Amino acid sequence: MRTFERTHPWISFSVDLRKASPQLWILLGEAASKCEHIAGAPLRPSVAESLHRLYLAKGALATTAIEGNTLTEKEAIDRLEGKLKLPRSKEYLGQEIDNIAAAVTRINELLVEGELNLTPDRLCEFNRWVLEKLPPEGKEVPGQVRDYSVLVGNVYRGAPPEDSTYLLERYCEWLSGEDFKAPAGMETVYAIIKAIVAHLYFAWIHPFGNGNGRTARLIEFQILLADGVPTPAAHLLSNHYNHTRSEYYRQLDQASKSGGDVLPFLQYAVQGFVDGLREQLQVIREQQWDVAWRSYVHTKFRDLPGPAATRQRDLVLDLSQSPEPVPASKIPELSPRLAKAYATRSSKTLQRDLIELEYGLDLIKRTPKGVLANREIILAFLPWRKPETVPPAPHTHHAGDR
């Protein structure tokens, strides 16, 4: 008998999905469906790049924030764009972000080259990547399986060091084995299960002296990406763990104390993944809505030549960038081109343009606080569905009511 079988019996390399609840399967189906939707959503190149950069920053920050990185999301984005300069005492925080971003890029490249398998050597490489150029926190050697005991957060002791190499080999064999062979049409569902279980088991084994959490999240990312989950979505689990950090650690703790029941951790992780996918789809819908709106505006002006029509079209498009009503007098300040268009014209010209846009073309609407682009008109082009009903207000009992 190996030592870990006595000290860590929950590391059994098994998942009994027969006990999974209907709710978990429904969530997994929703997650797979939403991943397909995101993967097939056409976006403008600038929007697609912005979305990629945003969720890369979120993922990199989340992966490192769980380990104590204190940079903000804006600072992480600035770091990825080469805009953030940190004092020497804080440079390691930026280096942690750099390491995750570089590792994600390397994983993308490996998958493009067809290198999909997770091997002990690959996992050692992942560990080197996340610890690159960072000062050591103890006696760890990046990328080298530990030969000493580790205590995680003064709560959990990693698997016995004498079994670390064996467990890492067994772990990789298990992930590529029959337990995760998906039935036809269930590839994404099984990839999500595999990614989450791989994360959990890696945390239990804890094969390296440092960087295990970051390595586990890279493993999770590779598994999702290798099975077709789009890049922005593949960062969402790390984001979920970070935003629910105390619950994340509680679920990790309970999974081992339960004797290795992974289903509650799966439920927790998949629910967070689905919530993140819903938010991501909302961002994509808003971008698609904007594309449809701009196309509609250009169509409305297609047969209206002349400087007045050009000026009115630009007014609507620039007004569309404001989420809040804009006072009519402030409209020329919205953009350089509007400032130039109205610089030599009287306020009556602006008023005539607004009247035409509101009553002639139905492209703007007025509110007590100012003018808004009438972007909601695009919703009329969606397929009909029963409108949501507003629940009745609760009845208030007055004196004398029976």
Where in the chain are the domains? 12-285, 303-380
User: pLDDT > 70: what percent of the chain?
Assistant: 96
Cβ(286)–Cβ(51) below 8 Å: no
More confident residue, 387 or 293: 293
Per-residue pLDDT, 268: 98
- pLDDT tens-digit readout, 109-138: 999 998 888 999 999 999 999 999 999 988
Cα distances from 363 to residues 312, 315, 317, 371, in angstroms, run 10, 10, 10, 11
What topology does CATH give the domain 303-380? Arc Repressor Mutant, subunit A (1.10.10)
Average pLDDT, stretch 253-282?
Answer: 96
Q: Is 333 helix (H, G, I), strand (E, B) or coil?
A: helix
Q: If pLDDT is split at 50, 70 and 90, which confidence band does 42 have?
A: confident
Per-residue pLDDT, 43: 80
Rounded distance between C-alpha atoms, residue 58 and residue 236, angstroms? 8
- pLDDT tens-digit readout, 20-37: 999 999 999 999 999 999
What topology does CATH give the domain 12-285? Fic-like fold (1.10.3290)
User: pLDDT > 90: what percent of the chain?
Assistant: 80
Q: Which single residue is written with the structure tokens 């505006």?
A: 297
Q: Name 227's Cβ contacts closer than 8 Å, sequence gap at least 6.
A: 187, 188, 190, 191, 194
Query: For 234-248, 298-312, 369-383, which range has the lowest pLDDT when averaged over its residues?
Result: 369-383
Cβ(176)–Cβ(155) below 8 Å: no
Cβ(64)–Cβ(98) below 8 Å: no
Radius of gyration in angstroms for the set of CA atoms belonging to the chain, rounded to a whole number: 27
Q: Is 368 exposed, middle or buried (0-12, 13-18, 19+ CB in 10 A)?
A: exposed
- pLDDT tens-digit readout, 153-203: 778 999 999 999 999 999 999 999 999 999 999 999 999 999 999 999 999
Per-residue pLDDT, 389: 58
- pLDDT tens-digit readout, 140-157: 999 999 999 998 877 899
The per-residue pLDDT of the chain, averaged, comes to 91
